[in-house]
Every structure is written in C-alpha cells, then in structure tokens.
Amino acid sequence: MNRHLEKSLKRLLLRRLESAKGTVYFEFAIMMPFVMMVVLFAADFMRILYCEQQLEIASRALCDIQCHIEPGAAATDTKAAAKVPDAMAKAPVRKYLASVLEKELMTGDEKSVYCKAEVRPVKTLFEGIVEPIVTFLNGGKDTDSIVVKVLGKILGSVLNFLTFRTDKYFLMPLGRDLMVRASVSAYIKTFAPAWPMKFFGNKDGNVLVVPYKVKLDDSVAAFNREVQLDKRDRYYCTMPLMDTLPMAPGTYVRIIKQKLKRFL
Amino acid sequence: MTKYFDRLREERGSVGVLISLVIFTVVGSLMMTWNTAQLSKEKMRLQNAADAAALGFCIWQARGMNAIQNINDEMYLSLELSQTFQNAATVFEGFAAALEIAGNDPFLAFLKVVAIPFHLMGVLTGGISGWLATKICRFVLVPAGYFYAYASVPLGFINAQQFAAENTADPIGNVDLDFGSFGKFGLYALGISFPIIDTVMLPVERIEDDPEVAGEPWKCEENEFLKELVDNVATCTEPWHTIHSICGTGEGWEYKPWQSKKDRGDKVPEDLDPDSSHELGRTPGPVIFFVNKYCSYDKGEKSHIPQFKLDLWTGNKHYRRIAKMPMFALAAAQCIAGDIVPHSMRKDDVPINNRMAGFGVGATAKLVPIEDALKWLHPKASAVAGHLFYH
C-alpha cells in the first residue's frame, strides 16, 4: 500500500514537474528583479538626462543675469572692480536659482544644487600686454615685491597727473573686458545602483550621481562643497560682462569743471 | 529529432526569452535617448557659444561708441576749461598792462614791479592751461578716438573667437593653427555685419575743418575781443610776449569731434536741430555669427570604436580621418546706441553727463532675431530666414 502510495506520489510529482502549467509565473518571478532593475535604471537615467538639460538651461540663465549685474562703481573705480567676484558670490539670484532647482530636480536632499559664477578677463591678444601694465600701474596686485608695487604706484600717479587722468580712456575699456563664467551642478540620488551611471560617463557633466542611502554632509558650507564635487574647473556657460562704460572716467578736467560750476 | 521539434513547440522558458528581447529593446532605446540627449545638450552649448560670440562683438562696438562720445565731451570740456582760464588770464594781463602803463610815470615806477605777479598769473592760467589742454587732446584724446574708431571692431572679433572657444565650439573646418609657445589660434566664430562696412569699423567720422559744426567756443565776439586784448597786452613787454608765444593760447587746437556717419541716405536738416539728431547719423548694423561643433559618439582614445584622424600640421603621411557629426548655430546681435553728436551741436541746457535720448546715449548690445538682422540686407532674405528659422 505504502509503496503504491509512494509510487503514485512520485508519479504525481514527476507529472507536475513535467507539466507546463504555472511556468510563466515562475519564470516571471525569476526575471522580475532584473526587470525592476532595468525599470529603475531607466527611470533614473531619464531623470539624470532631464537634470542635465535643466542644469544647462540654469547655467545660461545664471550667466545672463550675472553679466547684467552692474558692478557698483567699478566703471571708474578699480578697487570696486576687484570686489566684483565677492559681490557676485553673495548675490541672492544664485540662492534663489538653487532653491528652485532643488525642488524641481527632486534631488532628494537639500543643498544639493551648487551654483558657481566668476568673472575673468577675456584673453584677447592684449592679455600679455595690457593686463600686466594695468596691474603694474595700480600697484602690482599679485606681486610680493615692494619695489615693483611702489614703482608702479609712482609711475601710475605721474601718468595720471601728466594726462589729467585721460589715460583712463585707453586703459579702462581694455581693463574692463571681462567675461562671466557660470556653472550649475547638482547631486542626483539614484534608486538603482550608481555604478551603471558612472559607466555611461557623467564625468564631464554637471550631475554627480550618488546612491540613495548616502547622506550628504549638511554641515559643509555651500562653497566648500566644491571639495566634495570633482575639483575640475568646469564652466558650462560663458558670456561677456555687459559693462559698456557709458559714463566717462573722472578726469581732472571734469573735477575742476564741476568745482568751478559750484564756485561760479 | 522529433524530440527537438517537440521541445521547440513547448512554451516553457518563453518568458525569459521575451523579457530578454524586451530588455534588449529597452536598453537600445535608452541608448538612443542618451545619444539624443547628449546631442541636445551639445546643441544648447553651441547656441550659447553663438550668442556669446555675437554679444562679445557688439559689446566692443558699444564700448567704442561710448568711448568716442566721452572723448568728444572731454575735448569740449578741456576746451571750455582752457578758455575759462584764458579769460581769467586776460583779466590778470589787463591789470598788469594797466600797472605797466601807470608805471611809465617816473613817480609810479614801482608799479612795474607790482605788475610782475599779475603777468605771472596770466601766463600760468592762460598760457599753461591752453598749452596743457592742447597737448592732452593732441596726444591722448585724439589718438584714443582713432583707436576706438578703428580698433573696436577687430577687438570685438577677437573677443568673439574667445567666447566661442570658451563655450566649447570647434574651430571652423576643424583647423587650429598652433604657434607653439604663442598659443593656438583658430577661427571659432565667423561673423558678418549688414551693412558690410560695419564688419570693419565703427560708423563714425571726424568733423573736419568745419568750425560752424565743430563750434569752437572762442569763435564768438567776446572771446575775439579778449584774444585781441591778450595779444595787445602781451606785446607790451618783450619777455612776456616771448613767454606767451611759447605757452600758446589755444592755437593749433585740434578740436575735431567725432560724429556718426551720415550715409543712411536721410536728409540732413539745414538748421542742424539737435532734436532731429536721429536723422543725422546711424548706429552700427546687426551682426550674425556662425559657429560649429564636431560631435562624436565615442569618448576619444578610450573608445573601442576605431577612429581616424585627419592631421594637417604634423606632417604625418599616414592620414587618418575623424568620423564626426557636425552641427552649427547662428546668432544675431546689435549694438544699440544713440547717434554720436558733438557737444557743440546740442542744446545749451543739456548737461554733459546726462545726455538726452538720441544724443549718444549709453550704448549697449543685445541679441536680435536673425530675421530682423537680415532686413538690413534685403527684405526677401529676411522673409526666407523667417520661414526657415521660425515657421
């Protein structure tokens, strides 16, 4: 009897195993993790592509705004012009842009959008000639030599005096030939493992992919975040500074004329 | 044999095959999407490059226009200031002359000594100020005016190359000239302005030998009288006459201001009414810039896809060709400015630094539609461009 039962059970099991019923579900259950991984990968992939495009647009927007910001009295004041990078660093437009992007890009964490903008001289053919002269006559900003600084200041003052400061008509427009370079970068947290994204190479892009579970260090200040990001100097939009020097420089002629007007 | 055919007819394992096909399709479409997104991103950057090149060019045109307007104002101010001091000098010389005439009396001979400081003041204020103003204008302001009239456009063109290169554009034709330690130079952005002459220099010209237009301030009855008085007084004593000759009193003055060119074909009003200055000259025309970029699907040398490189400058006889997909972008910009008008042609009540609209206002640059830029060339070209780019 038991042998008969055993045989029939075996036959049943074998028949069941040989049967094709339910194989679809079984195979689907095996393939499901791979499918889910592909779906998550696709979703993350699309999100990263969207983020990259949005960050490119944001870089252009940031650049456009920054290049229209008047650098105070820097049109005639070289000391104020030197402070332009600091002023731009504190500009509220960058904080606003970062806050908008953080919500839109759903990066999953606060303070994960990093805006950067700086002002640089344009490398015209005169870079090797005009910039050193202007720097020298303003007292040698980047040199440690006291002799160079003093000599530069003296020569600059003599030139100013002899020309009644009209030498600024030559030097000022050339010295204000500046460009604004801007970039917007972001951390994107992925649901899928991060390594496939790195394989497809966002190395030169503006999106840094991190796994979902990684918590970004909130204590790091916004500008120090560059240490966490790749240190390569990448800028995604460069525009000319829209400073066309509409006002004339303060020459001695104008100063004397103004004083005479008040006096007379 | 039948066993294999039976196996093929079975449905076991079909899901795995189906899903692998689906995954293959999905991954393939993801790759295509990635390629499209990369190209889209490159196109955005290239458009930024074109915009930056066009703006960089026009910014220099605007700087040039503003600089020339400021130089006009500076020359006129210097002239006015010099004339003010020379008028003061005339007063001193008048006192000195009166004292010298009175000193001819034997009892009042000491007055000739008293006259000396007045002569000195006259020489200092009149002679030196006139001499200084002339020298400053001749050696600084006039050359600065010529510099910005002729150098603004080349500087703008060089700027355009720099901005295009900074925004990752490639040299046109992928040709980059390497001058070793001097650096690499390539034509990154090609631009043309309509009218074409604006591609070469600003639309400005100096007013030559026309005192009615230049409006030298001493050409009025009061100053003519004062000038005559100075000349007469200066001849009273020989040393002072010599010193006055050396210092000069504004002779040889080169106040030849700049103005916008009047070749638009509009009629110039006879009375030169400053309110109609918009008819007197013209502003620079819009400029269109072209940039290109050779995009590739591979990542350079690390790619497993074989590539060939065309190398023009190494003398390598084994030529290789890069398989690349070119794209290009166009942008148009214009320098927006009021006409450059010499100070003397304005109304008397217009302050110098706060210019009225139309009197050489602060120039700036902005992007314009290509359709509008081509209107300067031909209306039909503008219509074609409009259909191509915007419709």
State pLDDT tens for residues B8-58. Answer: 777 667 777 888 888 888 888 888 888 888 888 889 999 999 999 999 999
Three-class SS of residue A206? coil
Mean pLDDT for chain A overall: 72
Cβ–Cβ gap A245/B14 under 8 Å: no
- pLDDT of residue A127 exceeding 80, the answer is no
* Confidence band of A50 (pLDDT split at 50, 70, 90): confident
Over 60: is that where the pLDDT of B255 sits?
yes
Three-state DSSP at B57 gives helix
Q: For residue A60, what pLDDT is reported? A: 92
Residue B152 structure tokens: 């603004």
Confirm or reject contact between B196 and chain A (CB < 8 A). no
Best to test chain A binding among B35, B42, B60 (most A CBs inside 10 Å)? B60
B2 touches chain A (CB under 8 A): no
DSSP assignment letter at B345? G
Rounded CA separation B295/B325 (Å): 5
**Judged by CB atoms within 8 Å, which residues 189-228 of A form the interface with B?**
200-201
B268 phi, psi to nearest 5 deg: -95, 125
Is A129 touching B (CB cutoff 8 A)? no
- B297 within 8 A of B31, measured Cβ to Cβ: no
Q: Nearest CA of chain B to the CA of A3: how many Å?
A: 32
Indicate the pLDDT class of residue B190, thresholds 50, 70 and 90: very high
Q: Three-state DSSP class for B7?
A: helix
> What pLDDT was estimated at residue A141?
58
Which band of pLDDT confidence, cut at 50, 70 and 90, is reported for residue B139? confident
Amino acid A71: pLDDT = 52
Query: Hey, is the C-beta of A161 within 8 angstroms of any chain B C-beta?
Result: no
Question: Which 60-89 residues of chain B touch chain A by CB within 8 A?
Answer: 60, 62-63, 66-67, 70-71, 73-74, 77-78, 80-81, 84
What is the predicted pLDDT for the residue at B14? 75
Across the interface, which of B48, B167, B364 has its CB nearest the CB of A244?
A: B364
Q: Do A200 and B34 count as a contact with CB atoms less than 8 A apart?
A: yes
Q: Does A38 touch chain B (CB under 8 A)?
A: yes
Residue in A241, A97, A238, A242 with CA at minimum distance from that of residue A181: A238
Residue B134 is predicted with a pLDDT of 72
* Residue entry with tokens 């009629």: B267
Using CB atoms, which residue from A49, A169, A236 is nearest to B67? A169
**Please, what sign has the CA dihedral across residues A121, A126, A128, A130?**
negative
- The two three-digit tokens of residue A200, written as one number: 């497809």
Nearest to B141 among A24, A166, A235 (CB): A166
A–B CB contacts, 8 A cutoff, strictly below:
159
Distances (CA, A) of B376 to A61, B252, B329, B350: 30, 42, 21, 33
Using CA atoms, how far apart are residues B374 and B376, in angstroms rounded to an integer? 5
In this structure, the dihedral spanned by the alpha carbons of residues B301, B303, B304 and B306, taken in order and rounded to 10 degrees, is: -60
In terms of CA atoms, which chain A residue is nearest residue B22? A35
User: Which is nearest to A169 in space by CA: B209, B252, B251, B77?
Assistant: B77
Beta-bridge partners for B367: B333
8 A C-beta contact, residue B352 and residue A248 = no
Q: What is the dihedral of CA B195, B163, A91, A184, to 10 degrees?
A: 130
pLDDT at position B309, please? 34
What are B127-138's pLDDT values in tens digits?
A: 677 677 777 777
Contacts of A151 (CB under 8 A, 6+ apart): none
pLDDT digits (tens, 9 = 90+) for A162-176: 777 888 888 788 777
CA angle B307, B309, B312 (to 5 degrees): 175
Q: Residue B11, exposed/middle/buried by CB under 10 A (0-12, 13-18, 19+)?
A: exposed
Question: Counting beta carbons within 10 angstroms of the beta carbon of residue A221, is it exposed (0 to 12), middle (13 to 18) or buried (19 or more)?
Answer: exposed
Say yes or no: A82 contacts chain B, CB-CB below 8 A.
no
Q: Verify whether the Cβ–Cβ distance A260 to B81 is below 8 Å.
A: yes
**How many other C-beta atoms are found inside a 10 Å radius of the C-beta of residue B295?**
16
Across chain B, mean pLDDT equals 72
Residue A178 pLDDT > 70: yes
Residue A112 has a pLDDT of 66
Question: Domain residue spans in chain B?
Answer: 53-390
All residues at 6 or more sequence positions from A111 whose CB lies less than 8 Å from its CB, including other chains: A98, A102, A216, A218, A222, A225
